[in-house]
Structure 1
Amino acid sequence: MTSHDFTQRFLFDETDVRGELATLDRSYVEVLAKHSYPEPVAQLLGEMLAAAALLCGTLKFEGLLVLQARSSGPIPLLMVECSSEREVRGIARYEEAEITASASLGELMPDGVLALTIDPRHGQRYQGIVPLEGANLAECLSGYFATSEQLPTRFWLNADGRRARGLLLQQLPPSRIKDAQARQDSWEHVVTLADTLTAEELLGLDNEVILHRLFHEEAVRLFDEQPVAFSCSCSRDRAANALISMGQADVESLLDEQQGEIRVDCQFCNEQQVFDAADITQIFAGGGTQTPGNTRH
């Protein structure tokens, strides 16, 4: 099977439905490598990464898409970011002692909410929030689109700690089929076919094989792959800007408290930026973040 990371769009030629498939291998492994996640957490984080990649192929924007789930349970936070260039990163917070291998999503994230945020480079920020309801993350995301009065959209997501994969189907505005009942029938038909896809098939089969397995009686066009990669947007300049926002007096006080070094950690990639007294003087003098500072990992 293809070993790189990508999304791939497909289109039904005779009905108003489009689809997207996501395959995350290396990027998923790189996210997991930054933290030691229990298996249920790693699985949910992989599913959310696949979902974010699918959504970036579906929603037209330039900027950043953020999927975030919060709860009062053993997993209080799942957060994934995907840029319009399909660069992904993700993180989870969890209480390991409270997590069991057989726990359901409702047990891991009770009283949860799911937020989808689009932060465009230009224009207004958008956020939608719905209760985290459903047997799995795919059902929750499908429910989000159902309640937010957007185009009917369904998700199928799976991850196993090595690979994260996703399938999305979305009904398009009327074009090929105008009759409302016929449109609904065609939508339900392709969704019913997609519901027969097993986790083993989604995780283990090529896209071409999956589409033939599900829709061999339909006219389906598969488009070119769009690469996905892990990338963290943290930098020394961003860490310096965060310190500047605190104000020089507070930063110098913190420097004294930390015995001459301020360490700024990135929660996503575990990279650490270290600033000493010379760095702080240089930053607040407008001299930038180059030497004499160091970056430590």
Structure 2
Amino acid sequence: MSDFTQRFLFDDTDVRGELVSLGESYAHVLAKHPYPEPVAQLLGEMLAAASLLVGTLKFDGLLVLQARSSGAVPLLMVECSSNREVRGIARYDADQVTPGAGLRDLMPEGVLTLTVDPEQGQRYQGIVALEGATLAECLSAYFDNSQQLPTRFWLNADGRHARGMLLQALPADRLKDVEAREANWQHLTTLGDTLTAEELLGLDNETLLHRLYHEETVRLFDPQSIQFRCSCSRERSANALVSLGKDDAETLLEETGGTVVIDCQFCNQRYSFDAADVAQLFAGGGSTVPSETRH
């Protein structure tokens, strides 16, 4: 299994953790667009972050991380479903991307939006400025400022692998004393800060946890697989056409020479609709199977 998350728990304290490793799914995302190395690395870190965050939530639905800026990367977007299916995309200006550029260079004046969209229940959205030097710092700051459970992130990607680690404080159970809880949290996160990019990208989970927390009692759970999957479909594209209304859809057909082509920006899949298809849609004939008439 090359793509998975794996939860761990400190048995003697009220802290849990999550590790993520992405290989094939990361490669699928990068294969869809010719990303420069700094953009590919940042996109990998966001894929890892979304995968970690899904592991902390109990819901059926979709988690979306979206960053916007005025810089070389105006848009960075990753989706991860509760089924651990991921996809992602970045928009960038190649002329402004320089080798070795980091988050602040690529996304000045940036804002990160975290959206949890459950299949049932209320949609949640949180926003944080991209003021940290790294995406991990920005996400950690978001949790610090949003009065949620204290949470820390460590993220790295190199264009081949995307890895990440998360620590999250749990409600008081084993440690009731406030000062003891704070001291324990500081101890575990300080050890986490000694983790190097080479260690995170190169070590297996058991070795990594032993190197960091060999003096702690750590329980490692079974891994949960992750895979790339794009949620686009002909039906969704057809629904977008129907939402325009019949008159506007027919006008669009005329403007495009008789065929409307809808591209998925995430996976580059193309969905084509000709006049017969559009007539079928507005006649209530559905969209899953293309019409037999072609021009």
Shorter chain as normaliser: what TM range? over 0.9
Q: Which residue of 2 aligns with 1:252?
A: 250
Q: Per-residue deviation at 1:4?
A: 1.5
1:46 corresponds to which of 21, 44, 47? 44
Return the offset for 1:46: 0.2
Match for residue 170 of structure 2 among 169, 172, 176: 172
Amino acid in structure 1 at the alignment position of 2:120: H
The reply on whether 1:61 has 2:59 as its aligned counterpart is yes
**Counterpart of 1:41 in 2: which secondary structure?**
helix
1:25 to 20, 23, 26: 23
Structure 1: how far apart are the matches of 2:172 and 2:137?
25
1:234-273 aligned at under 5 Å gives the runs 234-273=232-271
User: 1:126 Cα shift?
Assistant: 0.5
Give 2:130's aligned residue. Answer: 132
Work out whether 1:276 is the aligned partner of 2:271: no
Give the one of 136, 139, 142 matched to 2:140: 142
Detail structure 1 runs of 4+ shifted over 3 Å in the superposition: none
**How far did 1:71 drift?**
0.5
- Counterpart CA distance in 2 for 1:285 and 1:8 is 49
**How far, CA to CA, are the matches of 1:266 and 1:182 in structure 2?**
51
Give the AA of the match of 1:292.
Answer: S
Matches within 5 A, 1:190-209: 190-209=188-207
Percent of aligned pairs sharing the same letter: 70
Question: Deviation per CA, 1:139-169, whole angstroms, max 9, x where unpaired?
Answer: 0000000000101100000000000000000
The match for 2:83 is 85
Distance 1:107 1:213 in 2: 33
Give 1:220 deviation, angstroms: 0.3
- 1:293 Cα deviation after fit: 6.4
3-state SS in 1 of match to 2:272: strand
Any conservation in 1 of the 2:38–2:102 contact (CA below 8 Å)?
no
Report the Cα distance in structure 1 between the residues aligned to 2:19 and 2:127, rounded to whole angstroms: 24
Letter in 2 for 1:121: E
Aligned residues: 292
Once the two structures are overlaid, the 10-residue window that deviates more, 228-237 or 283-292, is 283-292
User: What root-mean-square deviation, in Å, do the aligned CA atoms of Structure 1 and Structure 2 show?
Assistant: 1.0
1:247, 1:291 → 2: CA distance?
19
TM-score by length of 1: 0.97
Instruction: Flag structure 2 segments of 5+ consecutive residues without an equivalent.
Output: none
Listed as ranges, the gaps of 5+ residues in structure 1 are none
Write the letter of the residue equivalent to 1:199. Answer: A
Counterpart contact for 2:52–2:166, Cα < 8 Å? yes
| Distance in structure 2 (CA, Å) of the matches to 1:103 and 1:22 | 24
Match of residue 76 from structure 1: 74
Which residue does the alignment assign to 2:225? 227
Residue 292 of structure 1 corresponds to 291
TM-score between the two structures when normalised by the length of structure 2: 0.97
